[in-house]
A and B are shown apart, each in its own frame.
Chain A
Amino acid sequence: MNHNYLFFFFLYFLIVSCNSYQKPAESYLPENLYEVSQTKFIQYLIQGKILYISKCSHCHQHSGEGFRKLYPGLIKSTTLMNDIGPAACIIKYGTKGMERVPNLSISMPAQAELSNLEIAEILTYIGNSWGNQMGFISVNNVEKNLVNCTSH
Chain B
Amino acid sequence: MKKYITIGCLFLLIGACQETKSNFELPILGRTKIISKEVNGIITKDTISHRIADFSFVNQDSTTVTNSSFKDKIYVADFFFINCPSICPEMSKQMYRIYEKFLENDHVRLLSHTIDPEYDTVAALANYARLLGVNSEKWQFVTGDKQQIYDIGETSYMVVANEDDKAPGGFIHSGAFLLIDKERQVRGVYDGTVTSQVDLLMRDINKLLTSYEP
Chain A interfacial positions (CB closer than 8 Å to B): 58-59, 67-71, 96, 103, 105-107, 109
Contacts and interface: CB of A to CB of B under 8 A. Distances in A.
Nearest to B127: A103
Nearest to A111: B85
Contacts of A106: 82-83, 127-128, 131
Nearest to A102: B127
A70 B132 CA distance: 6
A67 B93 contact: yes
A69 B169 contact: no
Given A106-B83, A109-B83, A70 B128 contact: yes
B138 to A, nearest CB: 15
Interface residues of B, number: 17
Interface of B: 82-83, 85-87, 89-90, 92-93, 96, 127-128, 130-133, 169
Contact of B133 (A58, A69, A96): A69
Best-buried of B82, B83, B86 by chain A (most CB within 10 Å): B83
Chain A residues touching B, majority SS: loop
Given A58-B90, A109-B169, A69 B83 contact: no
Nearest to B134: A68
A62 to B, nearest CB: 11
Contacts of B86: 58
Nearest to B169: A109
B89 A59 contact: yes
Given A69-B132, A70-B89, 16 more contacts: A58-B87, A58-B90, A67-B93, A68-B131, A68-B132, A69-B131, A70-B128, A70-B132, A71-B89, A96-B83, A103-B130, A106-B83, A106-B131, A107-B83, A109-B85, A109-B169
B128 A68 contact: no
A96 B169 CA distance: 12
B133 A68 contact: yes
